[in-house]
Chains A and B, each alone.
Chain A
Amino acid sequence: MRTILAAGAVAILALSLTPARLTSQSGGAAATKSPDLKGPAPRLANGKPSMTGVWDNTRRADVTNKAIPGFVKELPYTAWGKAKWEGYDNFMQTNGDYVGNCLPFGMSRSIYGPHPLQIIHDNDHLVMLFEQNSMFHIVPTDGRPFTKDLPPSWFGESVGRWDGDTLVVETVNVNGYTRVDTIGHPMSARARITQTFRRVNFGTIEHTFTLTDPKTYTSPWTVHDTWALEPDTRLLEYACMENNRAFYEGRIKAFVPPDDVD
């Protein structure tokens, strides 16, 4: 009995210490001093690198923009993809504009949007908190497979796994309604997004975004990013419909889902 009580006390102590340790590693509001951004990557309880932090994710309105390092040199369109790109209604008067309707941005436009991203990471989950529209996305990293028969969704479903110290996140089952970026590069519901996260030091994540979408592109392509930790930044609420005059005064039309993205 004594042994059991002692073991229980140790377990409770361990549980109570774990959040405190993660908080101090995050460099967040509870931190008493600025973190050493060049120092070693913080570690999870399981010894893997923690991606926790508020990140200055690279803004890419156009993934082919040569002014931003890590861009894609050329997008290898299929005939369908080329037609979707060339037929894109930049003025968004035909099908409406999903983001102008305050609908979700999906993974790529959230990652490459103008607002910061916070990651909260433990042994079994990586949680992405996007300031854009106050959206969240949960990535289980506990070895579970994708869910069978799950209806498609804006962000799709993600699972994560480790390749050494690199976290690999795979996302499938997207609804195909979102574009890759603000300028409107196409993607379909057959897209598979592969992201890698490597925390090279306390203040830096090297991130890659690979799109495999055989309906839209003849081969996969990859964007490379370097994200800086923003230890002094707090995410703010983004209530998108609060002041969306362009939509509720009728200048942006109601979104009509495309019917050819499957």
Chain B
Amino acid sequence: MKRFASVVLGVALLLPHTVIAHHSFDAEFDRNKPVTLKGSVTRVDWGNPHIWVFMDVKDDTGKVSNWGVEGGAPNALFRNGWRKDSLKVGDIVTVEGFRGRDGSQRANANRVTLPDGRRVFAGSSAGGQ
């Protein structure tokens, strides 16, 4: 966990445009549609080519809906200090990223703020161009 803190913070600060893309970001997401999501993690799919984190997010009217958030490749995230259990079901997290092109409740994660307040790089491929 110590490694996570130091290494991931370093990545977040030093490599804001790091590309961990396996396909073009633009094929699925819209860099002109930034989004911030705060909610409770409901599922984590840790697998290549991208991890997916699902979370229940409450909108302004109090309605809860489930969002799917794509992160980086697990191999790269692992080397940056992430572990399979870095995000757990029930964790309250804030994701900063970009919405899907199709307007659905999907996003690509650039930063994730963890329950303990650390804001870490999530492997977004938005810098891929």
Contacts and interface: CB of A to CB of B under 8 A. Distances in A.
Contact of B75 (A90, A93, A115, A252): A115
Contact of A238 (B24, B45, B73, B79): B73
B27 A97 contact: yes
Interface of B: 19-24, 26-28, 45-52, 68, 70, 73, 75-76, 78-79, 100-102, 127-129
Given A90-B24, A102-B49, A184-B24, 6 more contacts: A91-B27, A115-B76, A238-B73, A245-B70, A246-B27, A251-B100
Contacts, number: 92
A92 B48 contact: no
A252 B106 CA distance: 14
27 contacts: A61-B19, A61-B127, A61-B128, A62-B129, A91-B101, A92-B23, A97-B23, A97-B27, A99-B22, A99-B23, A100-B22, A100-B27, A114-B19, A132-B22, A182-B21, A182-B128, A184-B24, A236-B75, A239-B48, A243-B49, A243-B50, A243-B52, A245-B68, A246-B23, A246-B27, A246-B50, A252-B27
Interface string A238-249: 111011111000
B75 A182 contact: no
A251 B102 contact: yes
Contacts of B26: 90-92
Nearest to B46: A243
B49 A240 contact: yes
Interface string A79-98: 00000000000111100010
Contacts of B23: 92, 97, 99-100, 246, 252
Interface of A: 59, 61-62, 90-93, 97, 99-100, 102, 114-115, 131-132, 182-184, 233, 236-240, 242-246, 251-252
A214 B73 CA distance: 35
A243 B47 contact: yes
A114 B24 contact: no
Given A97-B24, A182-B24, A243-B47, A236 B19 contact: no
B73 A114 contact: yes
